[in-house]
Amino acid sequence: MPQLDETRQSLLHAEEETEVRVRRFWDGFTDFALRDNILEIAVGLITAAAFTRVVNSLTSDLLLPIISLLPFLRRNFDEKFAVLRRGPHYTKGHGYNTLKQALDDGAVVMAYGYVNLTSTFLREEERANGRGSSFLNNVINFFALGFSLYAIALIYSSVSHDSIIKKTVKCKYCRKSISPKAKRCVNCTSWQDGREDK
């Protein structure tokens, strides 16, 4: 039975090699995934996603309905569209009241306030809720998110006395942004104290 013994030893050797490879893979993964900066990035991304949802809700549920009450808008932002080519049942005096009415008539429209619900770019929950993503909504979201992040950075700076927002000045030679404390430009390496002018 020497053949059975050789097979058993080769299986044991293969098992040991597999165990070493799995352990090496697991150690490499934990070294990568459980480092401090990776965990900080993960927490930051999760917080940013939640913050973005709050800003989206603020914009679409609170700001846009109030803005749509302005007298010159005359309809909800979700229904803002421009007719590029009329459909066969277009009436000159009234036009189309809704985006759905224009699309059903076969008109070519530029829906700048609404994305068509049949679009493949919509998330499933948007399609299920019957709401698309408004271009105007996204623009307002961008500015609301930017201003709120700026406000958070200012609050953090005032509480911790550590500035997140770095002031910069332009290099007088290459016009790139540099620190106001810089003695030389990091881009063109010119001296900022006027030595270059002499």
What digits encode the pLDDT tens for the residues 77-126? 666 778 888 888 887 877 888 778 888 888 888 877 654 444 444 445 54
Alpha carbon separation from 28 to 23, 25, 31, 114 (Å, rounded):
9, 5, 5, 47
Flag whether pLDDT at 18 surpasses 90: yes
**What is the CA angle 89-90-93, rounded to 5?**
135
The residues with which 184 forms a beta bridge, in sequence order, are 191
CA distances, 191 to each of 159, 174, 176, 188 (Å): 35, 11, 14, 9
Kindly report the length of the chain. Answer: 198
Helix/strand/coil for 143: helix
What gap in Å lies between CA 126 and CA 79, rounded to an integer?
A: 16
**Domains in the chain: boundaries:** 167-198
Q: What is the pLDDT of residues 181-198, one digit of tens each?
A: 888 988 888 888 877 776
CA–CA distance, 166 with 177 (Å, rounded to integer): 11
Contact in structure between 53 and 84 (CB atoms under 8 Å): no
Please tell me whether the overall predicted TM-score, pTM, comes out greater than 0.75 for this model.
Answer: no
